[in-house]
Structure 1
């Protein structure tokens, strides 16, 4: 510490400097005024100037009166004028200040001209946006190069070469991923704005897209259905893997853009149509194109509005998908894996858990989508149960009708619900007694196996061997 005028001074400000309480405020104001003068070159001390004194103490921002008068004669800069300091002044010990040559007197951080040129190059504005951001967004009046990221824009501003690769870790000629800036520019070029009606929240992170494909467990040659490809960020990794791909997109402009970004391939079929043809059925073009036998998989970033109905319809098909790896709302993923008795447990949970083993995958933050959704997203993985073939189609049909009727009155007892639905209270009690289910229970606490036992009794089909 340095003592000036009998007072103990530190390197901080106000009370942190060890000043008396009645002097902390005035001395802080003096330091602020000195810092303002130093920043604009009135005294030659920069806002981050540091003075090394013989005793080893550090003084910042003019900590003691009379020190500036001692330092000004010894300060020299590139201009050679007394009292002005360059970016790094070569200062030697001057009159009245015997400084060690190993402890330089470093004054200032940048000249005002260099600071101004830097701000002009970056285009600083009150909203903290810079010219590099405007270049990356492709704003009017700014040069547009091969790269669309902020880093590429900065490199162009500085005259440095910009990489022309089509995307992160991609080889030229492969499926193109690009950046969000390029994606937005291409969408604006075709006059397309994402709409909530169609659930258009595009996934633009290539690393996450490759992770989804890896987690799905599909292999080269597998048959895969993708619904809602968007701009092709998930379609590209699937094509790289070498799968036989069926892509369904409702927007023809978006389908053309995705096809152009991914590239033409004999292993990819495109269907421009809505995937649903009604509340409980697929659209005719999709139904005709789907595989009638053999294994196939669903890997998709599903539009939020159709995710639940589509998963239920595909699971109820005669040849359902062997596995489903879908990116859906966190709420829908919670319903798929919910346990009986929980608030999220419902008709969708029962229908899916009868046919599939469900588990929740990785959570996807909202900032990886554009436009950013207001809800959380999660990947759900469904694996087809191997014992499903022992259930007859008639029992499955009765099972779906029974589940729908029960969960329309989920807070009523099973005695009341089945009696009302069948129109015969005694018949309902008989079914519950045969399935060994308590009539006073509510539908929301029954599992998929309990509903299957009720459906078997309703149809008169005895359960097969386990």
Structure 2
């Protein structure tokens, strides 16, 4: 693999800061990540932001097919050249943003209806949380996700209830599946080097969900409301939030959920939020 610096320079390109482009420059690191991901020749992998192909080439050597979703039009010719040079022919490149790509249509356009895919990517720091939300909302179509993220974000995702870093993104990703840190990647292994180190995580998504809220949208809205004003008590943060409760209703659903109304959002585990959202949903059903 040619170094990202040389590839970009010879093509008259520069890394785009607005797209969060930091290209992995060490082939052995890419190979290690893919090996630890456990990809087989039965898997179709959706890679977010393939860039210059460092991960893409290694994934393609193990997987049945790679669907590479790349927003940067200018970099795609370079990516295609690198794939051809590595004799890779099982990669389909789609020029769009993952935030615009219609994941619900996967079964119509790619392989069989019952297949569960793998999502991978070195995620741009500026939209990492949005991409994680896309995974959570579409998790039934994926059996796992392997992401390279800023180390600080991984610390937030893996934080337990009651800790300083525990927040809305922690709840959403832990609701999605089991999280495991696969590797720590130093910042000097990227070009251009980012300001912080990265971590690689694997999110394993069970076929049968561990948590089954009565209404998933209500669950997402309840979590969003609870953390909307995290310095306030749950009673106050739920009242007037995205779930449309007044103070009396907020206190009622919290008590029925077995949760003290004066607790704060960061003290609740995922299962607590599921119970709470179920009571919010039951109340909304009664009011219809």
Q: Same fold (TM over 0.5)?
A: yes
1:139-195: CA deviation from partner (whole Å, max 9, x where unpaired): xxxxxxxxxxxxxxxxxxxxxxxxxxxxxxxxxxxxxx23x2xx4333223210112
Q: How has the CA–CA distance of structure 1 residues 289 and 295 changed in structure 2, closer, same or farther, with 3 Å as cutoff?
A: closer
For residue 89 of structure 1, what is the aligned residue in structure 2? none
Structure 1: runs of 5+ lacking an equivalent: 1-176, 278-282, 462-466
Q: Secondary structure at the match of 2:215?
A: helix
* 1:249 aligns to 2:70 (yes or no): yes
319, 328, 331: which is aligned to 2:140? 319
**Structure 2 match to 1:276:** 99
2:239 to 416, 419, 427: 419
Tell whether the 8 Å contact from 1:411 to 1:444 is kept in structure 2 after alignment: no
Instruction: Judge conservation of contact 1:246–1:268 (CA < 8 Å) in 2.
Output: yes
Q: For residues 385 and 335 of structure 1, do their structure 2 counterparts lie closer, same or farther at Cα, with a shift above 3 Å needed?
A: farther
Aligned equivalent of 2:150, options 329, 332, 349: 329
8 Å CA contact 2:49, 2:69 repeated in 1: yes
* Counterpart contact for 2:168–2:223, Cα < 8 Å: yes
d(CA) in 2 for partners of 1:357, 1:209? 23
Q: Is the 8 A contact 2:39 2:63 kept in 1?
A: no
Between structures 1 and 2, the one with greater helix share: 2
Q: Answer yes or no: is the 8 Å Cα contact 1:338–1:344 preserved in 2.
A: yes
Deviation at 1:385, TM superposition (A): 3.4
Structure 1 runs of 4+ aligned residues shifted over 6 Å read none
Matched residue, 1:460: 282
Task: Check whether the contact 1:366–1:374 (CA below 8 A) recurs between aligned residues.
Answer: yes
Structure 1 residues 389 and 335 mapped into 2: Cα distance closer, same or farther (>3 Å)? closer
Q: How does 1:51-450 map to 2 (within 5 A)?
A: 177-178=1-2, 180=3, 183-263=4-84, 265-277=88-100, 283-284=101-102, 288-289=105-106, 293-317=114-138, 319-388=140-209, 391=212, 395-421=215-241, 422-450=244-272
User: SS at the partner of 1:225?
Assistant: strand
Secondary structure, counterpart of 2:260 in structure 1: coil
**Deviation, structure 1 residue 265:** 4.9
Tell me how far 1:460 sits from its aligned partner. Answer: 2.6
TM score, norm. by length of structure 1 = 0.56
Following TM superposition, by how much is the alpha carbon of 1:434 offset from its aligned partner in structure 2, in angstroms? Answer: 1.5
Shift of 1:340: 0.8
Offset, 1:346: 0.8
Would you say the 8 A contact 1:315–1:321 is kept in 2? no
Question: How far off is 1:388 after superposition?
Answer: 1.4
Deviations 1:47-89 (A, max 9, x none): xxxxxxxxxxxxxxxxxxxxxxxxxxxxxxxxxxxxxxxxxxx
Contact 2:139 2:205 in 1 (8 A): no
Q: Distance in 2 between matches of 1:423 and 1:452?
A: 17
Aligned length, in residue pairs: 275
Any idea what the Cα deviations from partners look like across 1:412-437, whole Å, max 9, x if unmatched? 11122223333422222221122111
Structure 2 residue runs of 5 or longer lacking an equivalent are 284-288
Q: CA 1:358–1:318 in structure 2 vs 1: closer, same or farther (change >3 Å)?
A: closer
The CA deviation string for residues 368-411 of structure 1, in whole angstroms up to 9 with x for no partner, is: 0000111111111111134417726x521101001111101111
- In 2, Cα distance between equivalents of 1:445 and 1:390: 18
Deviation, structure 1 residue 241? 1.2
Going by fraction, where is strand more abundant, 1 or 2? 2
Displacement, 1:225? 0.8
Greater RCO, 1 or 2 (C-alpha within 8 Å, sep 6+): 2
How big is the shift at 1:363?
A: 1.0
Q: TM-score, normalised by structure 2?
A: 0.88
How many angstroms apart in 1 are the aligned matches of 2:153 and 2:139? 24
